[in-house]
Structures are given as C-alpha cells and as structure tokens.
Amino acid sequence: MNTKEIIIYLIFPLFGIIVYIFLVTKIWKEKSRNSILLEFFLIFANYGALIITILTFYLLNWSAVAVMVYFYVTIAAPIIMAIIAFRHRKNKKENNLYKYLYYSAISYIILFPLVCVLMYFS
C-alpha cells in the first residue's frame, strides 16, 4: 500500500468512526431515541462511501471493490437517504439532531447527482 491508499482507505474511515462515536455520546447525553443511531450510522457510511469513491476516482486506479462501492453509492445509498429524509420530514422541528438528520439526508440526494456529473465529465 502506498500513502494515498493508506490515507483513503484507513485514515478517512477511522476519522468518520471517531466522529460517529462522539455523536453517539452526545445522543446518549441528550437521552434521544436510539433509533436515530442507526440512521446516523447509515448517513456516515453513505457519505464515507461517496467520499472514498470520489478520492479513488481522482487519485487511485479502479478496483473491483471500488466498483462495488460505486454501485452501492449509485443504487442503494440514494434510496436509503430518501427513506431517512421521508421518515424525519415532520420531526425536524422537534430537535436539532432530527433537523441535522433530515438535512444531511436531503443534501445527499441533491449532491449525489452533481458529483456523478462532475465525475463523468472530468
């Protein structure tokens, strides 16, 4: 492994896991519902997969794993994010965490086609 692969495949996911752990402790301190933990995990995983796909596209050579992650990002992740946004469309006024959950899911649905177009034309 060269340094680019180490940064892309190890450092970025570890950073995402650390940020997610801090978020989980904040959710537990606020005594929010535990169901949003899974949804935040899915949001972190989807954004992480998108970032890793973009970095792999621009900095590394494609591999079979990168293609499978790309198919996940293009097929399953928008559906998952749409379901999360639909579930929390009415809860966004209840708590800041629900608002962040809703807007991060909506922003993925908006940003994803833009990223695909940029990757296609570059």
Q: Is 88 helix (H, G, I), strand (E, B) or coil?
A: coil
Q: Going residue by residue through the chain (122 aa), what tens digit of pLDDT does each one get? A: 678 788 888 888 899 999 999 988 888 887 766 678 899 999 999 999 999 888 888 888 888 888 898 899 999 999 999 999 998 888 877 778 888 889 999 999 899 889 888 888 88
Question: Which pLDDT does position 23 carry in this prediction?
Answer: 87
Note the Cα 72 to chain centre separation in Å. 12
Q: Which residue has the tokens 């519902």?
A: 33
Question: Which pLDDT does position 83 carry in this prediction?
Answer: 94
Residue ranges making up the domain that contains 77:
3-121
Structurally, the chain folds into a number of domains equal to 1
Question: Which pLDDT does position 81 carry in this prediction?
Answer: 94
Question: Which pLDDT does position 116 carry in this prediction?
Answer: 87
Of 36, 105, 38, give the one whose Cα is nearest residue 77.
Answer: 105
- Give the global pTM: 0.88
